[in-house]
């Protein structure tokens, strides 16, 4: 709000008859103490400055408007001021000026222009932030229209050309170019407004002298020679307009540049997500284009006003001398002689000769032409001209050009398959680029890696390649070749390439070992690398082939029951195979082999030894929590009394974790709740727990997972919901799934403070 930062009476200073005096004093204080120097004046210094301004502007406050000689003030610390009592000074005017200076100081303080700030025993006088910005605006307004803003056009051109060279590093320049273009548009409006003001002042002038002074002082010196000369010569927009439009067209046609700029906008927090950032990029481009599309009309108006003022100046100078007495003295005898000639009798003089009398010519061509009758519109066959072959060729070439710039995920996949060997890791600096298509594929890959989330998602390219390739944006050496220079990254090939017999054999061994593990209900949790070695492959095989292994397992062993819609990592986790094995972490009245554990906030035990755990005291409820941060907050803030059994599921629960969750829930005999993210993954985890517990006759209720919280705190999701994550018709997630589909929002549970479930 405007008046939230300004004093309500701040403009009252200029409402009285002394507004011109207050203007001089306020501008003097601002320029002397606050505009450029980091000076903290005392009250005496401010009063001395007001006193000096009163002496320099005596005509604004004395009734006789005559200049006066005021006494000098002696420098003195504190709040009081003392004069030197010089003989040449006007004692009465000095006393009046000192009283008036004190009154003006109190008036400035009461209206919010200045304020006193104590620093220990010293009291300084500062100007509030809002008042300082208003004073700066008044200074600029007082200084006139001499801003040299013609260089803004050059700045816009340079910023757009820098974007073409490196879109990501120079992305903030586009936002600044849009602001500069808008500033230049306002600048043209100010020139046009100044011309109108000068035109009005010239018409209101009551003498030739005033009119000429407005012409030469206001129009020629202030406006024409400073503002208009800049935008009409070296900084003329037409000089750079074509290059600005060419740069805008190139940026708008480059999908890679738009994506890089949008990602930089999102990182700079100019937009909350990538979609909004992309909209902001197009909005900034449209702002620049709209300003330079409309400058022609503004220039036409400026030219019309300038021509009218110059014509009036020429006529004023031409007829200035005719208003004096000399013109009338010369005109009087001529007028009297004309009167005598008109009054004299006219002689009847007839001349005979060969001269023919004057006749009025008559001709049909001299007659006025009648108005044309409006022709009647009749229907007929419209014959269209044949298409211009050159225009059709241009349209086809433009379409092919745009199609070539639009790189598909399949093109990037083929680019990587030719350069990354199966089951290997390659550095981006070793990728050869033989053509423009290779360069476009490489650049699209680089930008998608930078824009992707930690899990490899976030854009269509990254999600398409996530099943077969893994990227490390922090690894590798820098890329520097004839095509581009950028930061390096590494690419690891995970999937199976055509004719990749070695990878297929490894994937089959891993799938067979996974089937054997699925049949062993007592198998201990293990990590990816240990499982790979147990299957007879290299230790990193499962990390590269997790997606093919999951697909082969479902195809070869359909009799093994697995939840529908799980991705590769979640499927492996159900059988206790995780990248880093997690301990079974829980909080509550826990005992091991009958021995109650000490009062710690939570405990972590190996899941394969979870059968040793039991519940030492009754609990009000059992709560499973998906994310570790929310689990720690909940047990620290709400479970100090151990009245509940709280279990951390570690995301999608592994089979060993799930077995312990079911066993402890049966021992507790209390209401069961689950708290997780409100998104596709959170719904999938809840439904998996819900089905498993329902098989044992236990009902699971959602905690802080409802449409109301989603609508109040949710943000727009970047991923689409998968149909495979949809809950069954009898699930407690039905209403929440419908809200996710209807709103497009998601909510991470870390965004909410923990609360106890509503019992009873």
Residue 248 host element (H or E): helix 237-253
Report how far Cα 669 is from the mean position of its chain's Cα atoms.
Answer: 53
pLDDT > 90? residue 465:
no
Two tokens, residue 224 = 């024409």
Whether the Cβ atoms of residue 622 and residue 672 lie closer than 8 Å to each other: yes
Smallest CA-to-CA distance from 268 within 256, 257, 283, 280 is with 280
CA distance 665 to 605: 17
Smallest CA-to-CA distance from 130 within 110, 144, 112 is with 112
pLDDT > 60? residue 126:
yes
CA distance 285 to 290: 9
CA distance 631 to 586: 9
pLDDT per residue over 714-735, tens digit each?
888 877 787 777 888 889 999 9
- The pLDDT score that the predictor gives to residue 145 is 43
- The pLDDT score that the predictor gives to residue 555 is 84
The full set of domain ranges for the chain reads 10-143, 152-318, 406-489, 501-574, 585-751
Smallest CA-to-CA distance from 592 within 577, 575, 605 is with 605
What CATH number does the domain located at 585-751 have? 3.40.1360.10
Whether the Cβ atoms of residue 495 and residue 422 lie closer than 8 Å to each other: no
CA distance 476 to 426: 9
pLDDT per residue over 688-705, tens digit each?
899 989 988 999 999 999
pLDDT > 60? residue 231:
no
Report how far Cα 75 is from the mean position of its chain's Cα atoms.
Answer: 52
CA distance 552 to 558: 10
Two tokens, residue 663 = 């066993």
pLDDT > 90? residue 631:
yes
pLDDT per residue over 257-314, tens digit each?
888 888 888 888 888 888 888 888 888 888 888 888 777 777 777 777 777 777 776 7
Strand pairing class (621-625; 613-615): unpaired
Residue bearing the bigger pLDDT, 83 or 46: 46
Buried b (16+ CB within 10 A) or exposed e, 380-413: eeeeeeeeeeeeeeeeeeeeeeeeeeebebebbb
Whether the Cβ atoms of residue 227 and residue 302 lie closer than 8 Å to each other: no
Q: How many other CB atoms are found less than 10 A from the CB of residue 681?
A: 19
Across 81-85, 100-104, 344-348, the highest mean pLDDT is recorded for: 100-104
- The pLDDT score that the predictor gives to residue 209 is 59
CA distance 60 to 708: 66
Across 458-462, 508-512, 670-674, 728-732, the highest mean pLDDT is recorded for: 670-674
Strands (E), 576-656: 577-578, 584-587, 590-592, 595-596, 603-605, 613-615, 621-625, 644-648
Two tokens, residue 38 = 């980091």
- The pLDDT score that the predictor gives to residue 701 is 93
Which residue in the block uniquely carries the two structure tokens 């001395």?
A: 48
CA distance 131 to 223: 29
Smallest CA-to-CA distance from 592 within 494, 664, 649 is with 664
pLDDT > 50? residue 146:
no
Answer CATH for 152-318 from 1.10.3470, 2.30.40, 1.20.58, 1.10.1060? 1.20.58
Residue 83 host element (H or E): strand 82-83
3-state secondary structure of 685: helix
CB-based contacts of 57: which residues, under 8 Å, 6+ apart? Answer: 21, 24
**Is 760 exposed, middle or buried, given 0-12, 13-18 or 19+ CB atoms closer than 10 A?**
exposed
pLDDT per residue over 185-217, tens digit each?
777 777 777 777 767 766 666 665 565 565 555
Q: How many other CB atoms are found less than 10 A from the CB of residue 180?
A: 21
Q: How many other CB atoms are found less than 10 A from the CB of residue 545?
A: 29
Q: Mean pLDDT throughout 658-666?
A: 90
Whether the Cβ atoms of residue 161 and residue 250 lie closer than 8 Å to each other: no
- The pLDDT score that the predictor gives to residue 565 is 67
Q: How many other CB atoms are found less than 10 A from the CB of residue 149?
A: 19
Q: What is the full DSSP assignment across 521-566?
A: TTPPPEEHHHHHHHTTS-TTHHHHHHHHHHHHHHHH-TTS---TT-
Return the half-sphere exposure (C-beta side, CA atoms, 13 A cut-off) of residue 371: 2
Q: Which of 141-155, 467-481, 594-608 has the lowest mean pLDDT?
A: 141-155
- The pLDDT score that the predictor gives to residue 82 is 65
pLDDT > 90? residue 621:
yes
Two tokens, residue 211 = 């009119």
CA distance 449 to 169: 16
Which residue in the block uniquely carries the two structure tokens 């972490």?
A: 585
- The pLDDT score that the predictor gives to residue 674 is 96
CA distance 96 to 444: 77
CA distance 563 to 574: 9
Q: Mean pLDDT throughout 595-620?
A: 88
Whether the Cβ atoms of residue 29 and residue 64 lie closer than 8 Å to each other: no
CB-based contacts of 566: which residues, under 8 Å, 6+ apart? Answer: 574, 652, 684
Q: Mean pLDDT throughout 44-61?
A: 81
Q: What is the pTM of this model?
A: 0.38
Cα-atom radius of gyration of the chain, to the nearest Å? 43
CA distance 686 to 623: 12
Would you place residue 418 in the very low, low, confident or very high pLDDT band (cuts 50, 70, 90)? confident
Two tokens, residue 708 = 């109301």
Question: How big, in percent rounded to 5, are the helix, strand and coil portions of the chain?
Answer: 55, 10, 35
- The pLDDT score that the predictor gives to residue 1 is 44
Smallest CA-to-CA distance from 149 within 209, 76, 229 is with 229
Q: Mean pLDDT throughout 404-429?
A: 83
Would you place residue 707 in the very low, low, confident or very high pLDDT band (cuts 50, 70, 90)? very high
Q: How many other CB atoms are found less than 10 A from the CB of residue 441?
A: 22
- The pLDDT score that the predictor gives to residue 693 is 92
């Amino acid at each position: 709000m405007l008046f939230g930062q300004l004093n309500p009476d701040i403009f009252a200073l200029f409402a009285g008859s002394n507004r011109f005096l207050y203007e001089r004093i306020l501008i003097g204080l601002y320029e002397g103490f606050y505009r450029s120097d980091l000076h903290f004046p005392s009250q005496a210094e401010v009063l001395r400055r007001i006193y000096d301004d009163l002496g320099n502007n005596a005509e604004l406050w004395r009734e006789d408007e005559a200049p006066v000689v005021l006494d000098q003030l002696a420098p003195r610390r504190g709040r009081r001021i003392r004069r030197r009592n010089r003989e040449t000074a006007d004692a009465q005017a000095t006393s009046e000026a000192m009283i008036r200076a004190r009154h003006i100081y109190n008036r400035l303080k009461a209206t919010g222009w200045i304020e006193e700030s104590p620093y220990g025993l010293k009291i300084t006088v500062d100007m509030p932030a809002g008042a300082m910005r208003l004073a700066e605006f008044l200074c600029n307004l007082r200084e006139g229209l001499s801003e040299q803003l013609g260089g803004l056009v050059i700045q816009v051109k340079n910023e757009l050309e820098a974007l073409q060279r490196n879109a990501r590093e120079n992305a903030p320049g586009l936002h600044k170019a849009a602001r500069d273009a808008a500033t230049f548009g306002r600048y043209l409006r100010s020139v046009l407004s100044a011309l109108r003001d000068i035109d009005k002042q010239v018409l209101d002038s009551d003498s030739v002298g005033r009119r000429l002074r407005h012409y030469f002082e206001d129009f020629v010196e202030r406006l024409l020679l400073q503002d208009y000369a800049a935008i009409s010569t070296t900084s003329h927009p037409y000089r750079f307009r074509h290059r600005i439009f060419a740069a805008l067209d190139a940026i708008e046609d480059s999908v890679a540049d738009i994506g890089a700029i949008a990602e930089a906008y999102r990182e700079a927090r100019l937009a909350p997500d990538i979609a909004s950032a992309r909209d902001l990029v197009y909005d900034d481009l449209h702002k620049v284009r709209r300003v330079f599309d409309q400058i022609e009309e503004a220039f036409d108006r400026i030219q019309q006003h300038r021509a009218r003022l110059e014509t009036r100046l020429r006529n004023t100078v031409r007829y200035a001398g005719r208003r004096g007495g000399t013109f009338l003295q010369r005109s009087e005898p001529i007028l009297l002689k004309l009167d005598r000639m008109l009054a004299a009798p006219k002689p009847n003089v007839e001349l005979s000769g060969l001269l023919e009398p004057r006749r009025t010519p008559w001709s049909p061509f001299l007659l006025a032409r009648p108005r044309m009758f409006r022709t009647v519109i009749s229907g007929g066959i419209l014959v269209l001209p044949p298409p211009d072959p050159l225009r059709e060729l241009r349209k086809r070439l433009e379409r092919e050009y745009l199609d070539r710039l639009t790189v598909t995920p399949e093109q990037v996949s083929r680019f990587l398959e030719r350069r990354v060997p199966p089951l290997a890791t390659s550095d981006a600096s070793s990728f050869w680029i033989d053509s423009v298509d290779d360069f476009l594929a490489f650049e699209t890959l680089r930008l998608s890696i930078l824009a992707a989330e930690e899990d490899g998602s976030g854009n269509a390219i990254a999600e398409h390649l996530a099943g077969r390739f893994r990227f490390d944006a922090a690894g590798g050496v820098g890329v520097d070749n004839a095509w581009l220079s950028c930061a390096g990254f590494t690419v690891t090939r995970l999937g199976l390439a055509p004719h990749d017999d070695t990878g297929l054999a490894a994937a089959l061994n891993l799938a067979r070992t996974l089937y054997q593990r699925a049949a062993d209900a007592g198998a201990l949790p293990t990590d990816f690398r240990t499982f790979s070695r147990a299957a007879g492959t290299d230790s990193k095989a499962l990390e590269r082939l997790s997606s093919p292994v999951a697909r082969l397992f479902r195809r070869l062993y359909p009799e093994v029951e697995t939840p529908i819609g799980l991705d590769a990592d979640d499927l492996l986790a159900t059988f206790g195979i995780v990248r880093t094995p997690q301990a079974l972490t829980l909080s509550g009245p826990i005992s091991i082999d009958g021995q109650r554990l000490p009062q710690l906030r939570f405990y972590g035990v190996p899941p394969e030894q979870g059968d040793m755990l039991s519940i030492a005291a009754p609990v009000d409820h059992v709560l499973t929590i998906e994310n570790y941060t929310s689990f720690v907050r909940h047990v620290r803030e709400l479970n100090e009394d151990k009245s509940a059994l709280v279990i951390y599921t570690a995301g999608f629960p592994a089979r060993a974790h799930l077995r312990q969750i079911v066993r402890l829930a049966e021992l507790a005999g209390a209401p069961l709740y689950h708290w997780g993210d409100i998104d596709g993954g959170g719904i999938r985890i809840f439904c998996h727990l819900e089905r498993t517990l329902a098989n044992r006759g236990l009902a699971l209720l959602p905690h802080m997972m409802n449409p109301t919280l989603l609508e109040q705190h949710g943000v727009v999701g970047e991923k689409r919901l998968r149909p495979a994550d949809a809950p069954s018709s009898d699930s407690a997630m039905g209403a929440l799934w419908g809200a996710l589909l209807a709103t497009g929002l998601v909510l991470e549970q870390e965004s909410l403070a923990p609360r106890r479930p509503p019992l009873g």
